[in-house]
Amino acid sequence: MAEAQLEAYVAGVVEAFVGSSVAGVFVLGSALLGGFDAAASDVDLVVVVDPPLDTDALFAELDELDTPFRKLELVVYTRGAKPPAYELNYPDGPGEPAFWFVLDAAIAQEHAVGWLDLLQPVTKEETGEAAEQLLAWAEERGEAVHAARARHYLEHGKWITKEEARR
């Protein structure tokens, strides 16, 4: 049920891109790596577009969507961009640390089919720097799960899910 509900919701988000040419859609986070919980998980979504992007119209459409999940976290890139150079970060806007976008891109490069056809890759060095920044951020805030995920990547070169980090 949750998978069908997620697919329908993602289709609704894509329909909100009225007047924009959508080149690719990627579901990231726990829905990509495993452990997605419809009651507790965010829907981490990346949409790649060909310009132009009418952000005012998109915001209006997205604000009208019923979200059956905890929260939509949508990042929009223009085709050929290199994360973290996004066009839109909805609903949070600018100001989030760049390491989040680099880490999402690194994970997507490994697991999301077609990602590298539309966006420039992030390097292992960039991913390592972002993981170190995540670790410092998480330790400063007492975010044990994020800290465990960052430590695991820095020690093993592989990302684990939040559920694996909790164990």
Domain boundaries, the chain: 2-97
Per-residue pLDDT at 19 = 83
Side chain identity at residue 15, one-letter code? E
pLDDT at position 1: 47
pLDDT greater than 90 at residue 32 = no
- Strands 71-78 and 88-90 come out as antiparallel
- 18 band by pLDDT with thresholds 50, 70 and 90: confident
* Cβ atoms of 31 and 41 closer than 8 Å: yes
Q: Report the percent of the chain where pLDDT is more than 70.
A: 99
2-97: CATH topology is: Beta Polymerase; domain 2 (3.30.460)
Q: pLDDT tens digit string along 112-143?
A: 999 999 999 999 999 999 999 999 999 999 99
pTM: 0.91
Instruction: Render 48-89 in DSSP notation, one character per residue.
Output: EEESP--HHHHHHHHHHS---SSEEEEEEEETT--TT--SEE
| Rounded distance between C-alpha atoms, residue 87 and residue 77, angstroms | 5
Cβ atoms within 10 Å, residue 155: 9
